[in-house]
Structure 1
Amino acid sequence: MTPTNLFKLISILFILTPFFAWSAPQMTLIDRVVAVVNDNIILKSELDAEVNLAKQDLQARNIPVTNPEELASKVLDKIILERLQLQRINQLGIKIADDELFAQIQDIAKQNNLTVAELRDRLNLSQKNGFESFRERIRQQMLFQKLREVEVLSKTQVTEDEVSNFIQRQALVQSDVEYHLGHIMVSLPESATPAERDASKQKAQDILQKIRTGEDFSQMAVRYSEGSKALQGGDLGWLGVDQIPTFFNDALNQLEVGETSAVIRSPVGFHIIQLQGKRNKNSQIVKQYHLYRFILLSQDARNKQQPSPTLVKLADSLTSLEAFKQLNEKYSDIPASVNANGNLGWQTAKEMPPEYFQAIESLQPGHAAKPFATEQGWVILFLDGVRDQDLSLKDKRKQAMQTLRMKKANESYEIWLRRLKDEALIDIRLEDPEIMEKQPSHEEALSN
């Protein structure tokens, strides 16, 4: 369950169930210890309160409580796990800032079409100090989520291959993905004999072997394909998922861009496809520049209109990344911290300062730009590469990474909780008949 859904569920429990109440029972019970968790005790009154909440939740879902003892046992187990997590939270010093908590409460109120003030009033009407109890319960759930991120999610690793495979599987069921396919077909005559089928299949295998040994796919299509696009080099153009023949799907699912399938059988013949491109209909193609930067310290660089001829000549001589990196040795008197972050990575024109883009706009990769002045001194940029990047694909990879990490974390979270429980000192006293026996209230005891 996501944090949002969890908080929404809590909000429903506190707001939308008409029978919600945390009112004190008619009898004030003398507390007994029902469990000890390390150095922390759980009282019967705490268990009873949580059992009442669990019953209300089950009633709201129209689920009858058929075994109260079993329910109490399950609720106690939940409380034990919560106590263990709270102990771990204290050990790690995990905190929830007040502004984080208020933002979450605002979100819950908004989901229920309420202001925070209206939410507070409703909770306080339902129960004395209802809003305060609600707020602390939300804080606790947020603490549990942070603990999960620290202990489980942060240690969950996802490989790039897993991300690629995930995106590929997802893409096949998304209508906004398009594929650029090359196609070669060796047709079968109607009512083909076994010998004719074998001959056609062998011809397709021979074509595939030539492609895999270096022959150009489009040329092979022109020469051998009997498909409708043979004269276009087998280019089927960009196709949506609903336009691709279903007998291509399994093979397409295994292909990366640039790869060629094995021979595919269909009722009309044998096919070879090549995945020549893949894109999102809503793709955001931008040009990115891979930049390196070197700063020559100078106090009066801003006062000079142009760099010196010597400096310009130096920049012109930097025709390789290796030569550019040697500037650190050439100017070893410059503090290392000045150029410690010289690799600026891939950036779009909008992401870099305007003077940077102006310097490299007409520059060819593998060259340094003309030096320009800044407050620190003269800046020399080296353009290592230029590429077209689909930002929507970058976002998709990020989302896939998060989805896979969460999926893996979900798989290991219960294991982590049980391990936490196994390593703790827990003494459960729920089966003690004296504990479960209803005790008289103080008023009843006095009257007797």
Structure 2
Amino acid sequence: MTRTLPALLATVLAFSGVSAPVLAQQAQPLDRIAAIVDEDVILQSELQRAVSNIKNQYAGREAQLPPDAVLERQVLERLVLVKLQVARAEGSGVRVGDEELNHAINSIAQQNGTNLDGLRQRLAQDGIGFADFRNSVREEITTQRLRQSFAQSRISVSEGEVDAALAQQSANDVQYHLAHILVALPDGASAEQINTGQSKIDGIKALLDKGELDFAAAAVRYSDSPNALEGGDLGWRSVDEIPNAFTSQLQTLKAGDVLGPIRGPSGFQLLKLVEVRNSSQGAAQTVTELHARHILVRVTDQLDEAAAKARIETLRARIAGGADFQDVAKESSDDANSRGQGGDLGWFPADAFGPDFGRQVESVSDGGVTAPFRTDAGWHIVQRVATRQTDVGDDNRRAQIRETIGRRKLEDEYNRFLQELRGDAYVSFRSGDRAENTADSPQQP
């Protein structure tokens, strides 16, 4: 899963049909429809519960929230996107089975320092139905799966991009904590749409310059980005995670400054530099690697546990008596991958085959042979050949940079995908008994 489970829990509680304590006590004899989304609906009670959860998250910071009508529209748009993503994922064959769902919920409980019963109690105390919670977790996992599929099919990072980012990182080894406000434009935006977007972003910037709103409050109120309700917070970014249009200008800013408006691939953006810190990605990273040979005896229907253990002990005795380890491995090992090489496993990190295997190898000196020990694969004896310290910093840095470039590309591409998904859908907001046009953008400043 692309997000941590605590983050998953927070998202589920904020944007779902699970109820907040106050609303759970309110009787609603007739639940109205807040929005029609293709063949699905969002109920007014779902919207009210999601809004209440957002307000609970902003307890003590209510001034950052927009007026209720604007907040409801932002939350309703987020709920619409959830419905559309779940429908698209399910239409593509994505299914989250009960076993996977149960595992995810158990992991959520563990990450929050409790067990399943404790999680049930916590939800009950907050007025949240467990069945609703399960359904919300299922939806969140489904949307994550859609995002992963999107990344695998559309996002690639070349070695040249990694090389260029490495060179740039070595020249500017810092990280930036950023927040942004996006005024989205559709692909192929008309001149009128561009002018409207430009006017809106200029109006937001004017409010910020006058001090009438702080940046987080403006993001919550006006941003079209999926993270608007988080105040537009983008977290910490290294240089390779930031679009080239911003990187050179960021170096001239100090904490608290706002850059823009800048026209980007998704629309007009304002970018705030929250703070700066030095990056430690350039530090050397060494690991201990082992070179070893092994002999494996598997436990099978024909060879039970006791017989397998007796056999490995016999092989160990032969080697202790002077037999060559490699010859015995070629004759007797059940590991088809290494048997032809005399059991040679090559160089590997100590934890490559699990912690127990590595500890056994580390317990003997070069040339020594371990006592028989058991793993999930069967019974082993291992001969340690040598050890070495290897600098894996460059490989790790390349892997990290490849991941961060991919994450930046995914963010841009997936946001455009969501805009297309939203634009192609039939969505009708309801206000009382009156259908409301959804083509309007969020409230203009």
Q: Normalising by structure 1, what TM-score?
A: 0.45
Question: TM-score scaled by structure 2?
Answer: 0.45
